[in-house]
Amino acid sequence: MTTENSSVPEQKKHRPILEYGPLILFFITNYFVGIMWGTGVLVVATIIALSLSWIWDRTIPMMALFGGIAVAFFGGLTIFFNDPVFIKIKPTVISLLIAAVLAGGQLIGRNPLKAMLSNQLQLSAIGWRQVTWIWVMMFVISAMANEIAWRNLSDDGWVTFKAFGLTGISMGFALLTIPIMKKHGNLSR
């Protein structure tokens, strides 16, 4: 096995840490010292995670970069105005924006999801269309759930929902896409 081939599994090993590490630190920091400190830690940890992604992989995935910019923007507003409502509405705004881009792309005959993921996943046109609409539903439901959560839960309750509820919604919808990928694609890649 060459060094080049053996580095691929190493890159994949640290991916969950880079993706979920900032969220876990946000949850833990909020638990001990509150949402404002948690937000600051989230912003810093996200910047560090994106930097490490670049150092280790020489790439930053588009969705991670978009999410990082959103965290910095809404987290910055939260800290600047000393108001947690900004970090609480971030999932709603971003989810609806992504849903609109995906749905809009589908409606004009383009598929942004395919453009982003076609190197990792091969699907037929029907498969891409079905997976895209499932993702649109996931983002809309996530936005609605977040609106209900931040308006009705304490800061601690919302942070718990953010860490586990939104992640659970994403995982549930990811499971819904598996039969489509099996039927219309190649899962072996």
Residue pLDDT, tens place only, 2-22: 344 444 445 567 777 778 899
pTM: 0.84
How many whole angstroms separate alpha carbon 68 and alpha carbon 53? 12
Specify the pLDDT at position 23.
92
The answer to whether the Cα torsion of 147, 149, 134, 66 is positive or negative is positive
Specify the pLDDT at position 11.
52
Q: Which residues on neighbouring strands pair with residue 100, listed in sequence order? A: none
How many whole angstroms separate alpha carbon 73 and alpha carbon 149? 21
Q: Which of 38, 36, 18, 40 is nearest to 28 (CA)?
A: 38
Specify the pLDDT at position 67.
92
Specify the pLDDT at position 58.
87
Specify the pLDDT at position 188.
45
Regions in the chain scoring below 50 on pLDDT: 1-9, 188-189
